[in-house]
């Protein structure tokens, strides 16, 4: 019985004038899967703005290439490893790191930094706590061993992720433009070399596994679909591939990720409008008696395919031997556009290469039509006083310090990291002579996006850009992982389509190209009967071209006596807020991005670049109360929120003043407010207090009194996750 959907089988049979054999079926099953073919999403992805004067290679390759300065370029990519991380959290997360690192490597770039975006069910459930602990273990174990620092991350908890956690990873790398290679095969007659680890039975059918819902029995049934990583081999692969590329031997390169050997090799040939003849008897194997089906679709890790001129094949094999890696010439590119595979003297696959790679029929789904309707706020009586409410938010899993997570990562290896994890953005020193640095931010807000996919996704995009502006960085590119449930459900497909529209519109407004990413559908669990919240997670990179010419602000208040300035309007926008989540409230107005996002970013960046901003913090989850608590945890502050206003110059109520998550707000601290305010013309801003004093005082006005928090109370509340993991 065929595992292919009946319509796909019919299409294939008609095109070939024969039914596919079992090995060919396996090839189609994986390459035509949603994970590889984007058959449900491609028409929406094409609406993203993808070009700028810095983009050398945009979406469609293993990673994007962005021009930095002179001949120095940045490679950036983002991937998901969701289903494997539920079935086997340590190996699933580790191989997610390994895969995205090889995507960067395949472009000719040395990987220099990682960011991880993790979404779990609530940690008070033992299974979720187990997944959380072992996913972090897998990321730390792999990243630390290969010497690539994790410099930024996001950890978010919601009960709807209990049956399907998300593990998304961003990687960036550096290269010289002359060393860029792509996955496009160049010439008929060139050799294809497979280099790296041996091919085993791990990761069988991983691409098709990623394109279906998780079942209650997934942990047992799908164990063979999870790859097993070896970071020590990965480190050797990095050095060997870079040496081969820098020696000028490599004409094209691809990582063996989703769909294994058939995925990487068929896509290389199809991109170059060439055919390929493979001999599976030449593939180094670790398992005895492996079938051609297993050899082609296994997703064993730490493997790369390289196109080389036949005259250079021996030199490349010698490089592999130098690093104690397996390598073999396994095929030759041809001009007949056929994907031909032999095993033990018999032809086991004979297919038109562009039909196999790129021929999947598009899946057309209609987004659910959404009628405009007022959202009623459901708010139970809250008897806690304002101080208790602030402390409860500081202790909530989505706001509490994630130090337990990032302390397990080696974030200083490669000695580029100048701002450590825990800040709004990571900062990496790139080139001291050219005064170049990169700022990195990541994340999204699933609670906002669930209630309003368009504005929630646009707001998440803007927030990442604001995180970069707080370091004085200019956003130059973004990548995304679009994580959703079953696209055949019109309501979920609407979430996806509106999220893409929101990201695209904000990216256009900020002139930031969307250069790559990944779509992960079918994130649902039979066990829990629900889809995940819509989670279009974002990674964004910014450039600092005069790095070192001014002080890079950190998140927390640095100097007592500094003037504290709030930029941006505070509105009655509590819908989807962490405050409502903690207290079981529903409905409300979801934050809407500001009208002039570019002006806000430019003003914040200009203020930071004066060198007179000692600390800067974007206001997001938990609102002003949380942002100020995070900034004040070392030296305190005295803050007056009575004078801030919102849209239409209305004064927000005390709940909104403390907990609204309105976009476009930043808190700056400065010893010279006149200089900083001089950069904020045309942007709403208020002087709200002074840093220092040994405690945090929030003066609310209007008869609501003062919220006074000791530094001990702030720190104690924020360490809830650390205490839990002990």
Point out the residues that are catalytic. 35, 81
Cα four-point dihedral sign 506, 511, 512, 516:
positive
Measured distance CA(27)–CA(340) in Å, rounded: 12
Residue 348 CB partners (closer than 8 Å, separation 6+): 21, 23, 24, 280, 292, 341, 342
276 to each of 330, 334, 335, 435, 678, how far by Cα in Å?
A: 10, 5, 8, 46, 63
Measured distance CA(358)–CA(564) in Å, rounded: 55
Measured distance CA(14)–CA(17) in Å, rounded: 5
Crossing angle for the helix pair 490-510 and 453-469, to the nearest 10 degrees: 30
Q: Are the C-beta atoms of 635 and 692 separated by less than 8 Å?
A: yes
Secondary element (H or E) of residue 28: helix 22-31
Measured distance CA(276)–CA(274) in Å, rounded: 7
Helix (H, G, I), strand (E, B), or coil: what is residue 71?
Answer: coil
Burial call 405-435: b when 16+ CB within 10 Å, e when fewer: bbebbebebbebbbbbbbbbbbbbbbeeeee
Q: How many residues appear in the chain?
A: 726
Measured distance CA(299)–CA(257) in Å, rounded: 6
Residue 723 CB partners (closer than 8 Å, separation 6+): none
Secondary element (H or E) of residue 142: helix 126-146
In 576-646, DSSP assigns E strands to 615-618, 637-640
Among 74, 32, 82, 80, CA closest to 55: 74
Burial call 61-98: b when 16+ CB within 10 Å, e when fewer: bbbbbbbbeeeebbbbbbbbbbbbbbbbbbbbbbbbbb
Cα four-point dihedral sign 522, 525, 526, 528:
negative
Supply angle C-alpha 147, 148, 150, rounded to 5.
Answer: 130
Torsion angle, CA of 552/555/560/563, rounded to 10 degrees? 80
Residue 659: DSSP 8-state? H
Q: Are the C-beta atoms of 24 and 351 separated by less than 8 Å?
A: yes
**In the beta sheet, which residues pair with residue 75?**
65, 173
Q: Are the C-beta atoms of 438 and 428 separated by less than 8 Å?
A: yes
69 to each of 57, 287, 427, how far by Cα in Å?
A: 16, 47, 17
Cα within 13 Å of Cα(645), Cβ side: 7
Helix (H, G, I), strand (E, B), or coil: what is residue 178?
Answer: helix
Supply angle C-alpha 543, 544, 546, rounded to 5.
Answer: 145
Question: According to DSSP H, which parts of 357-452 are helical?
Answer: 386-395, 403-406, 446-451
Q: How many CB atoms lie within 10 A of CB 338?
A: 18
Measured distance CA(35)–CA(32) in Å, rounded: 8
Cα within 13 Å of Cα(30), Cβ side: 27
Q: Are the C-beta atoms of 462 and 454 separated by less than 8 Å?
A: no
Q: Are the C-beta atoms of 117 and 169 separated by less than 8 Å?
A: yes
Measured distance CA(116)–CA(55) in Å, rounded: 24
């Amino acid at each position: 019985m065929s595992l292919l959907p009946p319509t796909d089988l019919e299409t294939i049979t008609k095109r070939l004038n024969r039914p596919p054999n079992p090995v060919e079926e396996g090839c189609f099953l994986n390459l035509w899967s949603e994970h590889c073919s984007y058959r449900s999403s491609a028409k929406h992805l094409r609406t993203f703005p993808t070009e700028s004067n810095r983009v050398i290679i945009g979406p469609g390759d293993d990673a994007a290439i962005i021009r930095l300065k002179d001949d120095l370029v940045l490679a950036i990519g983002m991937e998901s490893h969701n289903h494997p991380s539920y079935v086997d959290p340590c190996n699933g997360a580790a191989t997610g790191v390994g895969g995205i690192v090889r995507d960067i490597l395949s472009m000719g770039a040395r990987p220099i930094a990682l960011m991880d975006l993790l979404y779990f069910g609530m940690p008070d459930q033992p299974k979720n706590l187990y997944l959380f602990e072992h996913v972090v273990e897998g990321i730390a174990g792999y990243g630390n061993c290969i010497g690539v620092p994790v410099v930024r991350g996001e950890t978010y908890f919601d009960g709807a992720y209990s049956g399907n956690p998300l593990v998304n990873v961003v990687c960036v790398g550096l290269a010289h433009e002359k060393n860029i290679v792509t996955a496009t095969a160049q010439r008929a007659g060139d050799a294809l070399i497979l280099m790296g680890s041996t091919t085993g039975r791990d990761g069988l059918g991983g691409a098709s596994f990623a394109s279906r819902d998780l079942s209650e029995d997934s942990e047992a049934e799908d164990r063979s679909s999870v790859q097993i990583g070896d970071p020590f081999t990965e480190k050797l692969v990095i050095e060997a591939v870079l040496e081969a590329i820098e020696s000028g031997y490599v004409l094209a390169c691809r990582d063996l990720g989703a769909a294994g050997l058939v995925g990487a090799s068929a896509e290389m040939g199809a991109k170059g409008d060439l055919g390929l003849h493979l001999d599976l008897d030449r593939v180094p194997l670790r398992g005895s008696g492996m079938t051609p089906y297993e050899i082609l679709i296994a997703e064993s890790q730490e493997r790369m395919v390289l196109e080389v001129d036949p005259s250079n094949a021996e030199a490349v094999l010698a490089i592999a031997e130098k690093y104690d890696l397996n390598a073999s010439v396994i095929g030759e590119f041809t001009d007949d556009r056929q994907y031909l595979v032999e095993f033990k003297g018999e032809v086991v696959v004979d297919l038109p290469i562009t039909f196999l790679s790129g021929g999947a029929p598009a899946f057309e789904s209609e987004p659910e039509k959404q009628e405009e309707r007022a959202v009623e706020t459901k708010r139970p009586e809250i008897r806690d006083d304002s101080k208790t409410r602030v402390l409860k938010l500081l202790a909530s899993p989505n706001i509490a310090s994630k130090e337990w997570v990032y302390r397990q990562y080696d974030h200083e290896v490669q000695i580029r990291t100048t701002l450590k994890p825990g800040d709004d953005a990571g900062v990496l020193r790139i080139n001291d002579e050219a005064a170049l640095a990169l700022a990195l931010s990541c994340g999204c807000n699933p609670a906002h996006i669930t209630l309003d996919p368009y504005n929630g996704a646009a707001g998440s995009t803007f927030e990442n850009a604001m995180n970069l502006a707080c370091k004085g960085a200019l956003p130059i590119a973004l990548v995304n992982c679009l994580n959703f449930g079953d696209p055949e459900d019109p309501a979920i497909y609407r979430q996806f389509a509106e999220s893409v529209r929101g990201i695209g519109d904000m990216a256009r407004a900020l002139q930031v190209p969307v250069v790559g990413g990944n779509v992960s559908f079918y994130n649902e669990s039979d066990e829990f009967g629900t889809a995940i919240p819509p989670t279009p997670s974002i990674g964004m990179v910014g450039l600092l071209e005069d790095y070192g010419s001014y002080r890079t602000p950190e998140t927390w208040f640095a100097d007592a006596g500094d003037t504290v300035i709030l930029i941006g309007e505070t509105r009655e926008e509590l819908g989807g807020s962490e405050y409502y989540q903690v207290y079981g409230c529903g409905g409300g107005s979801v934050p809407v991005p500001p009208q002039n996002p570019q002006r806000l970013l430019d003003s914040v960046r200009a203020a930071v670049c004066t060198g007179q901003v000692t600390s800067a913090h974007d206001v997001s989850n938990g609102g002003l109360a949380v942002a100020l608590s995070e900034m004040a945890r070392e030296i305190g502050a005295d803050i007056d929120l009575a004078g801030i206003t919102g849209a239409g110059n209305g004064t927000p109520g005390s709940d909104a003043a403390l907990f609204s998550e309105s976009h476009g707000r930043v808190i700056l601290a400065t010893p010279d407010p006149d200089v900083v305010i001089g950069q904020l013309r045309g942007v709403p801003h208020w002087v709200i207090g002074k840093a220092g004093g040994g405690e945090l005082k929030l003066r609310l006005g209007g008869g609501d009194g003062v919220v006074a928090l000791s530094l001990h109370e702030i720190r104690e509340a924020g360490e809830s996750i650390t205490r839990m993991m002990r």
